[in-house]
Amino acid sequence: MIVTIVADVFGVPNNGTTIAAMNLINTLTAHGNTVRIVCPDADKKDKKGYYVVPTLNVGPFQSIVNNNGVVLSNPDFMTIARALKGSDEVHIMMPFMVGRSAAKLANRMGIPVSAGFHVQAENVTAHFFNFIKNQKINHMVYMNFWNHFYKYVDVIHYPTEFIRDTFEKNIHQKTPGVVISNGVSGDFHHIEIEREESLKGKFVILCTGRYSKEKRQALLLKAVALSKYKDKIQIVLAGEGPRLKELQKLSKKLGVEPQYRFFKRPEMVKMINMCDLYVHTSEIEIEAISCLEALSCGLVPVINDSPKSATKYFALEENNLFKLNDFHDLAKKIDYWVEHPEEKKECSKKYEAFCGQFNFDLCMEKMEKLIEDTAKIKKEPQRKE
């Protein structure tokens, strides 16, 4: 097959959507398919298989985009048309400007379209005037996604049943969707490894994710400050992002000293296996592959019980959850696991078994089948919008 992947955001793998796109591209290519990639990455210009569109400047909001370490795409219809011409199927990663243009153009050309659902409304509203908790505005974002993008898509890829239900409730209708996890790489598994000097003798708590508002890392800092074992605990905040200085200021005020670090995959596997507990503070999450990576290594989690996060469904026991954004309750759960090492060992074994369903190769097989099945849809060119 010839498959065109459209990615409004691509670049470096510092976010889940880019990683999902790269995984899909690598899988399709490895199985003999021709993959074309539409993206805004200037460094990809003139490279085989890449169709580079201009970058998008969003004026007064450009600083938000820059702080999040991404580049947005600006539609170039000639470039998109060249990428789509002769394609058997088009898969679009995000419901933004280039993705929208590609979906509508593919409809006119009679090319079947699939698209991923990797963006929650709150991922957008979190950055604008504190609208993250405004249900009416979040509903409007979902309606915008539907009216201007997903209604032009033949098959929607939902990483979790949670986000499928959330979207369909907001737009008040069923959609042509398939639920498939983005999958966890086999690289993530339990290994015996000696700790780094800075971690020896400590109860090490790992928290992964971008330093952004919806990830709520401050909850962990506040919880550890309240813990009976504060002096024994070492926090590792794995990530990067615009709220680094704010977190550093808060940690200094609270008297805790987390390590702020960014890890590539091999180093991430090692770090997970050096830790004692995984705390997932994020309030907004479609799937949280970073959490699943930790669980696959046998790390026991304590997860924010947020109604806007799929991650809470990974909790196997009561002590794997803390009350919504309640750092007092999080402190109690942390202390519980410090005080019950044998129970933590048993829980660790349960999580290693639990994560088998998220096997990367199996999930990629399902994604390739989704694209193959979508490509079989017969469509007439010039379909009305």
Q: pLDDT tens digits for 308-342? A: 999 999 999 999 999 999 999 999 999 999 999 99
Q: Within a 13 Å sphere around the CA of 96, how many CA atoms are in the beta-carbon half?
A: 25
Whether 197-358 and 2-183+360-375 are alike in CATH topology: the answer is yes
Residues 226/219, Cβ–Cβ less than 8 Å: no
Choices 1.10.287.1770, 3.40.50.2000, 3.40.50.300, 2.30.40.10: CATH for 2-183+360-375:
3.40.50.2000
Where do the domains of the chain lie?
A: 2-183+360-375, 197-358
Residue-wise pLDDT tens digits, 52-103 = 999 876 555 555 555 655 566 778 999 999 999 999 999 999 999 999 999 9
Residues forming beta bridges with residue 365, ordered by sequence position: none
Residue-wise pLDDT tens digits, 280-291 = 999 999 998 999
Residues 298/316, Cβ–Cβ less than 8 Å: no
Q: Distance between CA atoms of 36 and 55, rounded to whole angstroms?
A: 18
Query: Is 372 a residue whose pLDDT tops 90?
Result: yes
Domain 197-358 classified CATH 3.40.50.2000? Answer: yes
* H/E segment holding residue 78: helix 77-84
- Which residues have CB under 8 Å from 43's CB, separation 6+? none
